[in-house]
Amino acid sequence: MSCGTKTLKVSSFVLDFLCCVLAALTIAACSYALIAFSHSMAIRVPCILGIALGALLFLSTIFGCIAALRESIRMTWIYAAIMLALVFGQITVIFAQPINFELLANETIYDAWQGQLYHRGSMSYYEIKYHCCGQTGPADYPDSGLRTPPSCYLNQNVTVSTDLYTVGCDQKLAQVFIKGTRWERISDWSVVGVELLTVIIAGLLAITLQNAQRRRLYR
């Protein structure tokens, strides 16, 4: 085995391992999101697609490792083609099915507000953490025949009227979730970048193996 072939094989193994880790993290993150936000339709399709692509990527990396170990030209080309298809699939999901964080926030607060109407205290967690009040604003409580809770006040001190939070929790949570869009894009494009690099290395390995085979035939 030449030095160039050995280097490409090692690089292929390293990238396969990295893709395997990214696939596992993608599956875990999407599975957690589906469980944590089981009520939400905003993340259902993107997360299901993420799990499917993650599973395909995980299985593909195993195939890629076998191809590199066996130094099979055909298997290596097949692996490169599969990875390229996954890249296009990943890009399609990024643009066609991004997570709508604003809708996710609205769905989350809507469900919490419905619980609040049945006196479950579902809103207090969001009101204390995000300094907000009600679904759309503090007027939601008197409009629904409810008393404005201490969680709608700074330090939960109801005696100071100026400490009342005036922004609804749907707006506050949407602002927080939208900030997560940047991290989602960074993680998505990082996976795409690693996959593209894996395709390039797999292609170079296949070409190197083909050249080595030709040289053996002419000896």
For each of the chain's 219 residues, which pLDDT tens digit applies?
556 678 888 888 889 999 999 999 999 989 998 898 888 888 888 889 999 999 999 999 999 888 888 888 899 999 999 999 999 998 988 888 777 888 888 899 999 999 888 877 789 999 999 999 999 999 999 999 889 999 999 988 888 888 999 999 999 998 888 777 777 788 888 889 999 999 999 989 888 888 877 766 665
- Which pLDDT score, from 0 to 100, does residue 164 have? 93
Using an 8 Å Cβ cutoff, are 194 and 22 in contact?
yes
- Which pLDDT score, from 0 to 100, does residue 199 have? 93
**In the chain, domain spans:** 3-99+184-217, 103-171
The 3-state DSSP class for residue 164 equals strand
- Which pLDDT score, from 0 to 100, does residue 3 have? 63
User: What is the value of pTM for the model shown?
Assistant: 0.76
Contacts for 91 with CB less than 8 Å, ≥ 6 apart: 192
Which CATH class, in words, describes the domain spanning 103-171? mainly alpha
- Which pLDDT score, from 0 to 100, does residue 217 have? 63
- Which pLDDT score, from 0 to 100, does residue 130 have? 93
- Which pLDDT score, from 0 to 100, does residue 198 have? 93
